[in-house]
Amino acid sequence: MPVNPRSASPRWAVARPARPAAAVRLFCFPYAGGGSSLFTSWSRFLPEAIEVCPVLLPGREERFGEPPRTRVEDLVPELAENLAGWFDKPFAFFGHSMGGEIAFSLAQHLCEGGAARPVHVFVSGCVPHPSPVLRHTLPDDELLAEIRKMNGAPPEFLENPELIELLLPMLRADFALAENCVPAPEAVIPVDVTAFAGSADPEATHRQVQDWAEHVSGRFTSHELTGDHFFLREAAPLLEIVGRTLGRTVTGR
């Protein structure tokens, strides 16, 4: 497994599971409030040629003691530096909601810096426009109501005051990051991009996610899948497309 020679701790990514013979690495970025555990089962739905590598963001899971990032200008250069050791073979990015915005921003940063660039970027459940609601500024009760409306948290979280007190600062920081992560109107990446939308997602409709095409000079495709904003919880239909797309990319077909 690649390790950044400058710092073996904290970890910024993990292979789940490690597939040393894989032809391509798929780096996965979570939605607001999510973590690497979202992608634990994904390898079961993907061919052996793809190594699933969830990105470990500050402020959650094994990095819970670190402050979560709230500005894309801070996070993206850190990601580029600390993931560089993993870019020794073809790689792609997948991100959902906040994670999709991070994935695009990191791809743009790598392309502009002349570094290794992803062979494909998958953006899911997000749009390249400012949010109509600045959720990170809402009072706690209104923020929780927004999370409940999005179907974004299990009942055991929403009904547990201690858990809310523990995790709400991280959620608020993630929303701030997502709201700060919108691409500039002129931002364009020379990378193939696939966008996904949920059929019942008011946050990012299929028509809205197609606006990512304006920021892509490579090939662009989009897909509408059954479900609400968290349609990726039913991973199989999405990963069938991801696996097929990356299979064509790495074989040149």
Query: In the β-sheet with 120-124, what is the strand arrangement from edge to edge?
Result: 50-54, 24-29, 91-96, 120-124, 193-198, 220-225
Please say if 97 is a catalytic residue.
yes
Tell how many helices (H) and how many strands (E) occur in the chain: 7, 6
Question: Rounded CA gap, 123 and 112, in Å?
Answer: 19
Strands 50-54 vs 24-29: parallel, antiparallel or unpaired: parallel
- Nearest Cα neighbor of 110 from 127, 97, 93, 130 is 93
In total, the chain counts a number of residues equal to 253
DSSP type of residue 191: S
CA–CA distance from 240 to each of 30, 97, 247 (Å)? 19, 19, 10
Active-site option among 7, 37, 43, 97:
97
Burial tier of 219 (Cβ tally within 10 Å: 0-12, 13-18, 19+): exposed
Active-site annotation, residues: 97
